[in-house]
Structure 1
Amino acid sequence: MSSTPATTPAARPRPRTRRILLEVIGAIVLVCLAGIGFLYFYVRDGQPQVDGQLALDGLEAPVTIVRDELGVPHIHAQNVHDLYLAQGFAIAQDRLWQMDLMRRLGEGRLAQVFGAAALPLDEENHRLGLPHAIQENAAHLRPREAKLLEAFAQGVNDLIVKRRNHLPLAFQLLHYRPEPWRPADSLALAAYMYKTLASGYKDKLIHETFAAKLGPALTNELFPDLSPWDIPPGAPLPQSPADLLPAAERRIAPVGAATALLPPVFAAPPQVADVRGGSNNWALSGAHTTSGLPLLANDPHLQFQLPGLWWTVDLRSPQVHVAGVAIAGVPGVIVGHNDKIAWGVTNSDADVQDLYRATLDGKDNVRTPQGWVPLQHWHETIEVKDAPPVHLDIAVTPHGPLVARDAGGQLALAWTLFAPDSLEAVHVFLALDQAQDWHEFEQALSGFAGPAQNFVYADTAGHIGYQLAGRVPERRGFDGSVPVPGDQFAYEWHGWIPFSQLPRVFDPASGLLATANSRVTPDGYPYVISTDWDAPNRTRRIYELLASQNRWNAAELGRVQTDTVSEQDRDFAAALVAAGGAAAVDGQKLSPDLQRALNLLDGFRGAMEHESAAPTLAYWTRKEMLHEVLAAKTGDTLATQYQWSEAPVFEQWLVRKQSPQWLPHGFATWNDFLLHCLTQVIQRDSLAPDKINWGRYQTLGILHPVFSHVPFARRYADLGPVPIDGSPLTVKQARNPILGDKVELGPSMRFIADPAHWDRSTLTLVAGESGLPFNKHYRDQWSAYLAGRGLPLWFSPSAVAAHAAHTLQLTPNTSR
């Protein structure tokens, strides 16, 4: 028989203790409820007004903003001035804090808000000359561009004034208020994008270091600038690529005595990923579509961020009707369609920078081809929150600022950004938004002075086309892949490659056009655009998929955008399986784990799916092979610094050619070496499903820069982490840092245009239209993005009216 222990008086809480405890708990609960109540009312009060009527300064006539079920604004104005003023107002409603963050990023003023932690990035942007370029461009704006930027700024400032007592919560948490928006601030966002898309000078230092270590022959193999798998726009699809790398004639400068990569003058902080943007775009003629008219698709690959870079908008006035995405802080539409044409953009990976070795005399002079000239100096001040300001003295040569050093001395950066009109892209995209045919499309792009981009085109008349647009230096006798002497005429730029000489294709016979950052120049092209194209894997796969079906509609193109097959990893897995078979024939006994790994790889078709183990084994064994090959030649430290966009071409060549020059010592055959690499991978990570599945290495989690640090808010503000399919080499790109396991870069939006019926076009953002974490449109596109589902981009007035969720009338302020 059991008994219940008696409770002694000492075990009972005393009434006074219990009362105090209850009072403390009650007080905590009241504080929490008060905090939650404050947050609720503050957040609700801080939401933008999307219905009713508002009077705005600067408007010339009434404007209507209709927001659909996704919060996308459809802005209808009576003139272009009011259209872009209203766009500035609407963007600021959704993204004001993000706009302030990005202008500070471009202007090198993050530390003013975030303190010393942001100082390295501010200093980097100052030393690269971004604030200097912004000031130069602001002083040379074309009159019409200046007027439209002022109208846009007026709209932003109208919002700041009207919401001065109800600013987004991020401003309150960081204890500051936004400054008025200026036209130069839109240029700051353009400068930030310029750096994102065209800042590869560090690769030249890496290339130089390997060249000094390996010599020219091996260096040319390790750093290919073209391959037999390349498919320039309009070229036929190769059927059976050659086994050998092409014998390219490299036009590099003498490497000299450089023996080591020395630290640059500055370095990016660890939390800033040094990841270059990519992208896919393509167009199909009516011969390949169910409608008989073209289709166009675009998904720019950029670093993930919250809020996202893009903001969807539909702009309509008597002069223009265009829908697509804008950059939060810049007027107009960057990618999208009007009533006649559609266009998409990818980065061309054009080389728009050179490093010049500066000869200094110790007396503030630098030697140029014309003789000795004084150095100039940029004197910059960075304000730092809760700390003294930092003063910079940046020495500047005629080529550009001194930004780095190698064993040969200090290096000056020449960059197309430093031209006084490099950021004047607004007039180009405003002209593009209004273009009605191929001729007007090309005419608009001929004025583009930014980093060279691949534009694809489709129209309602049945035409498709491709045009490379932007400024690319004209180099003669050298290719810019390594630093060059700064005091010799032979290495000077000869202006820009003429627009008429940049690659273009109109209505190709195949009816197919695609770009994915790989080489776009035809064989024999006389100019140097790049030596560091992206590998052609995605481009080739896109062409293969498009050619695999006779007729496509807009909805079906989403399958191409989300394709996750890596043919490189499929072929490498087959090579590993063949190596295992050869070992068995030779009588070698394989370990149980190695045999199991080979069984997992056998029959792998390249689908980089997060629940599969084969992608992990193929991908990481391929990376192990590359590292050990390089370490055997250069040592482990230098091997880890190897970065080259076309490294997959070199990897393919290694496996196909099995060159004895690259086979590490200690291995009799390449088959032995490949099995060794696979063994290293499975010893490092067990074959347990939770350890080896691809999803462990491919997780997407996006953190809000402020709210991720606020416990009660992060669950609303952050996205993921979730395992995702894809890899750096798949059409659905998922790129991570060199040895990381978190995806940092991928499709920043997905757009499909249907000129046969514009209302069948789709556009999906990563998160949502709003940048306010507690707004219902902050993350309402996330599930569709992960599923690869296209969301409607309503265009016709009837469709907009049918899907209207809110209507705001803006009227001129007559009270002043």
Structure 2
Amino acid sequence: MIILRDICRKLKLMEKINKKMKKYLKKLIYTLPLIFAIILTTLFYFLNRTIPYGDGVLEMSILKEKAEVIRDNEGIPHIKAKNADDAYKVLGYLMASERLFQMEMLRRVGSGTLSEIIGKKGLEIDKTFRTLGLRRHFVEKIKREGLPKEMQDKMESFFAGVNFFVENENLPIEFVLGGFKPEKFTIYDSYAVVGYMAYSFAAFLRHDLLMDKLKSSLSDEMWNDLQIEPHKNTVMTASVHRELKNIFKAFEDLNNTFGGFEGSNAWALNSTKTKSKRAMLASDPHIGYSLPGIWFEAHLKVEDPAEPFEIYGHFLPNIPFAVMAHDKKKGWGITISYLDDMDFYKETFSESGNETIFEGEEIPLRRISEVIKVRGGEDIQLPVHISHNGPILDELIGDKGISMKWTYFLENNHPIQGFYKMGRANSFEEFKKGVSLVGSPGLNIIYADAEDNIARLNLGRYPKRNDFSDSRVVLDGATKNDAYKGYYKFEEMPHNINPESGFVASANNRPITANENFRGMWQPRDRFITLYSRLLLKNDWSIGDTMLLQTSVLNNENEWIRDLLVSDLSTVSLGKQEQEAFNALKDWDRQTFPNRVGASIYHQFIYHLTMNLIDELGEEERNQFCGLSARWYFLGRMLKREKAIWWDMKETSEVEDRKSVVLKSFKDTVKFLNKELGNEVKEWSWGKLHTIEFAHSLGKSFPLNKLLNLGPYPVMGAYNNINNFRKVGCLDGHKVKSGPSTRRIIDFSGPEKSYGILPLGISGHYLSPFFKNQMERFLSGKYRLQIMSDDLLEKFSKARLEIVPEYK
């Protein structure tokens, strides 16, 4: 009976609990929508309140005179001002109103202060930029030498506009979520972004150190096979033995989060090659994708009789002078030159460790103590040592005493001044003088003008090395044998000016005008060969023809590779599914539209073939090598050598040749695609593998990636296509990380009406009508107008904002 009473008591208690639970659940069910509504309302409030002004009147007390901003139907701002100072103040204000968080993050990247706001996740990037001292170099230089007054005035006006926005307007939601407010912006922040830009170009930072490490573990023959270009004299003076993962990780973090500069196409045609009989310029620089995109597009017009100025430019965040631009007389685009402007030295130290030794003499080290503030953690003390060659990389790589020599640190490197002069040049000769001011970052400038001049100019310096000095490995810092003999003058660089062919082109290839003294980490020749052959055969290029070429997804070089692979497979026995895949590969038209099955098979096949070829390398080294352009030169070289030693698989007792590894790689490909995309070969379309996602810098992990990022979307193109939507490295399948950051076409028969497109839109605000208004057109290869004509602007205007010094 006692047991029965206890059971009844417990049942009654459970019934009471259930009633209470039901009551609470009912309240929760009614409350959840309310909570959700409050969250949505709050989110909408913070997003909506920061959308920039469109129509109306804005009081901006720092202006001298009234200015006007007309937004065209794409949201591009057209600034009209009575004086240059006001024009740059308005430009700074507008850039901040659309891109303030991006500006904040990029200046922190370049200055090595990212950890202050994101914690330990930013440490590798901060250590890299503090050790290299890319911002510090220019801060010290400017304090010693100053800047040209007219340029400095415009830079200060630009940042006055930025700071006016910060002090007077609502900050974007990222600052609310992050719980911080940006500090005052200064002209040094321009140089922080230059440092970020130059670092992302610096492929040799990864290439040379990895090659030096591999030199000690491979035979000379195998090591030479991995190179982009052979060198007649390779002598090991030192060797990298330890980990390089911090160097590679910092680059990957930068590229995946903020968008590194990865490649580019650009070409210029003179009047003998165009339908309009005037010069034409086409440019599409390739940069890692981010949200928002990297370029801020704007049209400036200064109506000052004493100093008239007009330019339609693509600006980098925090830099007031366009990196790419055109006006009614000239225009230019950029590609990365990939010239080898960097070397590494093994330093010999004195007994005290306070000096390095060069030719028997002791040269004092410069010592700096950097303090990295870490949000949520203790400050990090970072010792920085600088030799006469450059910063010592002890904190970045496992091996000690290796310094980096780079043209970036030259005293006569004036990157901001160079772009300032290029934009204001009134003749080709003045433009060349602007280009000559820059020592780094290394670029090709593709130029065209209304006078029918065309050119590919080398922007950046290049060292004169000893004939026996092989810059692919770490050099000896103690002897003059590996020291530079000087630098090539601007006039000695391999420019290509007004050639007889009637065109110049660059796709990050070895310049056709460069002799054997110039070494570089050139991109594969595929894009250049396709471009060059198409441009050579046609003499009536129109804007429409150029659009089709700029968005081409046909790679001429794929033909011989595909045919060789098909030939090797044609004599072997294949399973039913393998035979279907083989037929799809054989019949593939070599175009990489999202619906092409052959593209999926080919590119996955190339991946497995490459990884099977380099099985002699460790897993980490294979992945690092796979991220270098050298992998494509290596693959092409091996495909032409059927019995090369690399074809022998490390883990088997047999001696394999090309055909056996091709067969294994094909079977690996079919197995992979069957697992990922199903057993129906016809369903293996390229767009299922080849997708693009525009990621916010805060959207790297769940759940913010679902809230902040756009995509993924299937996309055409591929690595080495002219339409170069491509992966970076081999760790993330075929997901697109880099590609055209804009496409521009200017015909000088009517430069007031040119054509372009951005990946997303001009705005960084999610609720702005100009946030992603260009995305669908960009992904499908379409264009929109770039307007410099008052009549066209009136026709296509969307909003008009009057900005006054004082509102009356």
TM-score over 0.5 (shorter chain): yes
Structure 1 gap ranges (5+) = 1-9, 226-247
Deviations 1:6-27 (A, max 9, x none): xxxx99x999877654443333
Over 3 Å counting, the alpha-carbon distance change for 1:814 and 1:760 in structure 2 is closer
Whole-Å separation in 2 of the counterparts to 1:639 and 1:188: 32
1:303 to 266, 288, 301: 288
Could you tell me how far 1:303 is from its partner in structure 2?
0.9
Q: Do the aligned residues in 2 keep the contact of 1:138 with 1:183 (CA within 8 Å)? A: no
Whole-Å separation in 2 of the counterparts to 1:492 and 1:375: 18
Partner of 1:806: 799
Partner of 2:381: 391
Over 3 Å counting, the alpha-carbon distance change for 1:415 and 1:264 in structure 2 is farther
Partner of 2:770: 777
- For 1:578, what is the secondary structure of its paired residue? helix
Over 3 Å counting, the alpha-carbon distance change for 1:205 and 1:18 in structure 2 is closer
Partner of 2:4: none
Are 1:618 and 2:602 matched, yes or no? yes
1:524 to 515, 529, 535: 515
Could you tell me how far 1:223 is from its partner in structure 2?
0.7
Q: Do the aligned residues in 1 keep the contact of 2:88 with 2:154 (CA within 8 Å)? A: yes
Q: Which amino acid aligns with 2:732?
A: G
Q: Do the aligned residues in 2 keep the contact of 1:99 with 1:329 (CA within 8 Å)? A: yes
What does 1:125-144 correspond to in 2, within 5 Å?
125-139=129-143, 140-144=145-149
Whole-Å separation in 2 of the counterparts to 1:14 and 1:156: 60
Once the two structures are overlaid, the 10-residue window that deviates more, 512-521 or 371-380, is 371-380
Q: Do the aligned residues in 2 keep the contact of 1:341 with 1:457 (CA within 8 Å)? A: yes
What does 1:517-556 correspond to in 2, within 5 Å?
517-522=508-513, 524-525=515-516, 527-528=517-518, 530-556=519-545
Are 1:151 and 2:157 matched, yes or no? yes
Deviations 1:148-192 (A, max 9, x none): 2111111111111221xx211111010011111111111111111
Whole-Å separation in 2 of the counterparts to 1:589 and 1:611: 28
- For 2:756, what is the secondary structure of its paired residue? strand
2:760 to 767, 776, 792: 767
Q: Do the aligned residues in 1 keep the contact of 2:334 with 2:443 (CA within 8 Å)? A: yes
- For 1:277, what is the secondary structure of its paired residue? strand
Are 1:357 and 2:346 matched, yes or no? yes
Q: Do the aligned residues in 2 keep the contact of 1:616 with 1:694 (CA within 8 Å)? A: yes
Could you tell me how far 1:407 is from its partner in structure 2?
9.2
Whole-Å separation in 2 of the counterparts to 1:356 and 1:714: 42
Could you tell me how far 1:201 is from its partner in structure 2?
1.8
Partner of 1:750: 743
Could you tell me how far 1:30 is from its partner in structure 2?
2.5
Once the two structures are overlaid, the 10-residue window that deviates more, 330-339 or 471-480, is 471-480
Deviations 1:716-759 (A, max 9, x none): 74221012122211111122222322211111111111211124
Q: Which amino acid aligns with 1:642?
A: F
Over 3 Å counting, the alpha-carbon distance change for 1:170 and 1:689 in structure 2 is farther
Over 3 Å counting, the alpha-carbon distance change for 1:591 and 1:146 in structure 2 is same
Q: Do the aligned residues in 2 keep the contact of 1:535 with 1:647 (CA within 8 Å)? A: no
Q: Which amino acid aligns with 2:313?
A: G
- For 2:457, what is the secondary structure of its paired residue? strand
Deviations 1:411-455 (A, max 9, x none): 111122223453x32322222222233222212211123222111
Whole-Å separation in 1 of the counterparts to 2:30 and 2:142: 58
Deviations 1:56-110 (A, max 9, x none): 2432322111111111110111222222121111111111111111111111111
Could you tell me how far 1:199 is from its partner in structure 2?
4.5
Over 3 Å counting, the alpha-carbon distance change for 1:631 and 1:267 in structure 2 is closer
Over 3 Å counting, the alpha-carbon distance change for 1:648 and 1:708 in structure 2 is closer
Q: Do the aligned residues in 2 keep the contact of 1:66 with 1:74 (CA within 8 Å)? A: yes
Once the two structures are overlaid, the 10-residue window that deviates more, 58-67 or 451-460, is 58-67
Deviations 1:247-303 (A, max 9, x none): x54344x11564845346766356444866100001122222221112111111111
Q: Do the aligned residues in 1 keep the contact of 2:85 with 2:154 (CA within 8 Å)? A: yes
Q: Do the aligned residues in 2 keep the contact of 1:610 with 1:724 (CA within 8 Å)? A: yes
What does 1:241-640 correspond to in 2, within 5 Å?
249-252=231-234, 254-256=235-237, 258=239, 260-263=241-244, 268=249, 271-273=253-255, 277-317=262-302, 318=304, 319-361=308-350, 363-364=352-353, 365-369=355-359, 371-404=361-394, 409-420=400-411, 422=413, 424-477=414-467, 478-522=469-513, 524-525=515-516, 527-528=517-518, 530-581=519-570, 583=571, 588-632=572-616, 634=617, 638-640=621-623
Whole-Å separation in 1 of the counterparts to 2:247 and 2:579: 48
Over 3 Å counting, the alpha-carbon distance change for 1:344 and 1:779 in structure 2 is same
Whole-Å separation in 1 of the counterparts to 2:575 and 2:51: 62
1:175 to 179, 183, 202: 179
Q: Do the aligned residues in 2 keep the contact of 1:577 with 1:602 (CA within 8 Å)? A: yes
Given the two structures, how large is their TM-score scaled by the length of structure 1? 0.88
Pairwise CA RMSD = 2.8
Could you tell me how far 1:29 is from its partner in structure 2?
2.4
Q: Do the aligned residues in 2 keep the contact of 1:699 with 1:722 (CA within 8 Å)? A: yes
Could you tell me how far 1:316 is from its partner in structure 2?
0.8
Deviations 1:667-722 (A, max 9, x none): 565333322321222234325348843333321112212367686x8667422101
Deviations 1:564-598 (A, max 9, x none): 123333322211221133x2xxxx53333332222
Whole-Å separation in 2 of the counterparts to 1:210 and 1:32: 56
Partner of 1:75: 79
Whole-Å separation in 1 of the counterparts to 2:378 and 2:346: 34
The sequence identity of aligned pairs, in percent, is 24
Could you tell me how far 1:635 is from its partner in structure 2?
6.0
Given the two structures, how large is their TM-score scaled by the length of structure 2? 0.89
Over 3 Å counting, the alpha-carbon distance change for 1:41 and 1:592 in structure 2 is closer
Over 3 Å counting, the alpha-carbon distance change for 1:462 and 1:519 in structure 2 is same
- How many residue pairs match? The answer is 771
- For 1:770, what is the secondary structure of its paired residue? coil
Over 3 Å counting, the alpha-carbon distance change for 1:489 and 1:15 in structure 2 is closer
Q: Which amino acid aligns with 1:624?
A: H
Are 1:718 and 2:718 matched, yes or no? no
Could you tell me how far 1:483 is from its partner in structure 2?
0.7
Whole-Å separation in 1 of the counterparts to 2:254 and 2:74: 31
Whole-Å separation in 1 of the counterparts to 2:85 and 2:501: 42
Once the two structures are overlaid, the 10-residue window that deviates more, 647-656 or 299-308, is 647-656
Could you tell me how far 1:507 is from its partner in structure 2?
2.1
Could you tell me how far 1:331 is from its partner in structure 2?
0.5
Over 3 Å counting, the alpha-carbon distance change for 1:407 and 1:112 in structure 2 is closer
Partner of 2:625: 642
Could you tell me how far 1:789 is from its partner in structure 2?
0.8
Q: Do the aligned residues in 2 keep the contact of 1:356 with 1:483 (CA within 8 Å)? A: yes
Whole-Å separation in 2 of the counterparts to 1:301 and 1:669: 37
- For 1:779, what is the secondary structure of its paired residue? coil
Partner of 2:697: 705
Q: Do the aligned residues in 1 keep the contact of 2:111 with 2:135 (CA within 8 Å)? A: yes
Whole-Å separation in 2 of the counterparts to 1:418 and 1:651: 35
Whole-Å separation in 2 of the counterparts to 1:209 and 1:299: 35
Q: Do the aligned residues in 2 keep the contact of 1:196 with 1:276 (CA within 8 Å)? A: yes
Q: Do the aligned residues in 1 keep the contact of 2:592 with 2:718 (CA within 8 Å)? A: yes
Whole-Å separation in 2 of the counterparts to 1:781 and 1:151: 30
Partner of 2:721: 730
Over 3 Å counting, the alpha-carbon distance change for 1:250 and 1:724 in structure 2 is farther
Over 3 Å counting, the alpha-carbon distance change for 1:308 and 1:137 in structure 2 is farther
Could you tell me how far 1:640 is from its partner in structure 2?
4.3
Over 3 Å counting, the alpha-carbon distance change for 1:636 and 1:102 in structure 2 is closer
